[in-house]
Structure 1
Amino acid sequence: MVRLLRPQQWLKNLLLLFPALLGGQILVKGLISQSLVPILAFCLSSSATYVINDIMDEERDKNHPKKHLRPLPSGSISRVVAGVFAFFLVTTGLLLGGWCGQKFFLFLLSYLVVSTLYSIRFKNYPVIDIFCISTGFVLRLIAGGIATGVAVSHWLFLNVFLLSVFLSTGKRLSESHALGGRAKEHRMSLAHYPKGFLEGILYMCGAAVLVTYTVYTLQKPNLVYTVPLCTFGIIQFALLANSGKSADPTEALLKNPAILLISLTWLVMVLWTLYG
């Protein structure tokens, strides 16, 4: 049951804290405790979408070199139990979201709708599948701004959007390289991407991420010294994606020493610059 939740993916929900962190307000009294319920609501809701996705992909995952070990395709848990579990997660997540206010609830509901549509249908369509994943990141960011009462600047919005497209494209590219000729059997959208297309999108979005992040840091001058770190991280992730290794954003952060070190260094520099 714990594996079905994919708790390691909950790291993505820390994006709710980014508006307050980069807005210099994360240490405001009571703000972190105020953010706990919204983050929990997204954790439960995101886990529900993972369960739904696993139910939809059960047969296909049985022939995947790695995914066949997941609880559903391996037979560790039944579809009925997984379905009941997903319903419980959705209901609990929405109840917590409603407790956080109407605006937050609407963004949480939007996240659930987009993620569910992705699992049921949209993941089979090229480009649309990438934008569905990216939308999840953007909705987390805006919901975090609502939950903490910190406005999301235009440049931060653009930067997170482009970064999410970059990461999503990298994930698709790594899957394409890792699965080779069997890629379309496991993910239909990969059959529709022409050769070199995903690489082009990856490089285009990587460059756009660096431009928008640089402009964003100019509003907080001392943050400009974090741009080299971001450049290294972007290039390292692109290398992962092109090598066929797992380029899932969470796995890359947790399992790739270089990306983990760069991310922690970036966080320390941001905290020192804005709060030190």
Structure 2
Amino acid sequence: MKAYFQLLRPHQWLKNLMLLFPPFLGGTLLGGHYSSGQLLWPLVAFCLGSSATYIVNDICDVEQDRLHARKKHRPLAAGRIGVRLAVVLAVVFAAGAVAGAWWVSARFLVFLLLYLGVSLVYSLWLKDMPLVELFCVVSGFLLRLLAGGEAYGVAISDWLFLSVFLLALFLVSGKRLSELRHEGGEAPERIRSVLACYPQGFLEGCMLLSGSAVLVTYTMYVISHQSTIWVIPLSCFGLLAFWRRVLSGRGGDPTRALLMDPCLFIAGVGWVVVVGWSVYG
């Protein structure tokens, strides 16, 4: 059971909370605007779909994972679960995700299918294409945001769209930089083959560019929605804490960082509290 649990990567479901950003920021998440089914089914659909994509990715990377100091312990790489059974599980979870998304709405289903399609193409072909692979991962965050707006009937403003795009690029670049500097060593292709294609300083520049830009776009979003400006220093603290974590070699996986790093966890909870008070208080 532990092997199946690891294969599904439930800690990565944390990314699907992006679906709740539109109603949370729009002031409709609380107050009985949605039934429990309306609130939970979009999350369930994307959790099932994301687990299916992680299984497919592990199937495609099984040989490479066996060369990785940490990833070799994954269920498929370690041989605790067979590839054929993993394929069946991926199909079952994808079918469950599609059924759940159809129950929400036809347009929500389109966003889920786009997410599954991009993830599949990424795992099969695009993960070895520098820069393209970064934007494929970033698109997963954007599709979650747009799907959340559709599921909960909230319009996505341009400033919010840009803020999520730049934040996702910052986080993904940080993860790649962490892999390159602190896991790849002299043979980055043994960790992730595309890492060898990024010139020195490129990923650092991506983090600097996107991190600076997201503060500008999010500030414009806050001002345009007349929210509390105190959330900006808190957001800046969170960005710098993640950057420091990456450069100090403590890992760049966003979900693990949020759950394991006290500074990031406090910044995340503080952001929810401050924004929640501003919107609902």
- CA distance in 2: counterparts of 1:165 and 1:223, whole angstroms: 25
**How far has the Cα of 1:224 moved from its partner?**
1.2
- CA distance in 1: counterparts of 2:230 and 2:248, whole angstroms: 29
Asked if 1:61 corresponds to 2:101, the answer is no
**Structure 1: which 5+ residue stretches go unaligned?**
none
State the partner residue of 1:228. Answer: 233
State the partner residue of 1:104. Answer: 108
State the partner residue of 1:188. Answer: 193
**How far has the Cα of 1:189 moved from its partner?**
1.0
- CA distance in 2: counterparts of 1:192 and 1:244, whole angstroms: 21
State the partner residue of 1:3. Answer: 6
State the partner residue of 1:13. Answer: 16
Higher mean alpha-carbon deviation, 30-39 vs 66-75, is at 30-39
State the partner residue of 2:171. Answer: 167
Asked if 1:197 corresponds to 2:205, the answer is no
**How far has the Cα of 1:75 moved from its partner?**
1.1
State the partner residue of 1:270. Answer: 275
Asked if 1:134 corresponds to 2:167, the answer is no
Asked if 1:31 corresponds to 2:9, the answer is no
Contact 2:48 2:94 in 1 (8 A): yes
- CA distance in 2: counterparts of 1:223 and 1:46, whole angstroms: 33
State the partner residue of 1:157. Answer: 161
**What letter corresponds to residue 212 of structure 1 in structure 2?**
T
**How far has the Cα of 1:215 moved from its partner?**
0.6
Contact 1:6 1:50 in 2 (8 A): yes
Contact 1:19 1:152 in 2 (8 A): yes
Contact 1:26 1:32 in 2 (8 A): no
For residues 79-111 of structure 1, what are the alpha-carbon distances to aligned partners after superposition, in whole Å with 9 as ceiling and x for unaligned? 011110001001111111111111100000000
**Structure 2: which 5+ residue stretches go unaligned?**
none
- CA distance in 2: counterparts of 1:28 and 1:103, whole angstroms: 25
The partner residue of 1:249 within 254, 260, 263 is 254
The 1:222/1:239 distance shift into structure 2, 3 A limit, reads same
Contact 2:134 2:172 in 1 (8 A): yes
- CA distance in 2: counterparts of 1:130 and 1:31, whole angstroms: 35
1:94 aligned counterpart, secondary structure: helix
Higher helix share: 1
Aligned residue pairs, count: 276
- CA distance in 1: counterparts of 2:175 and 2:222, whole angstroms: 27
TM-score by length of 2: 0.96
Contact 1:145 1:152 in 2 (8 A): yes
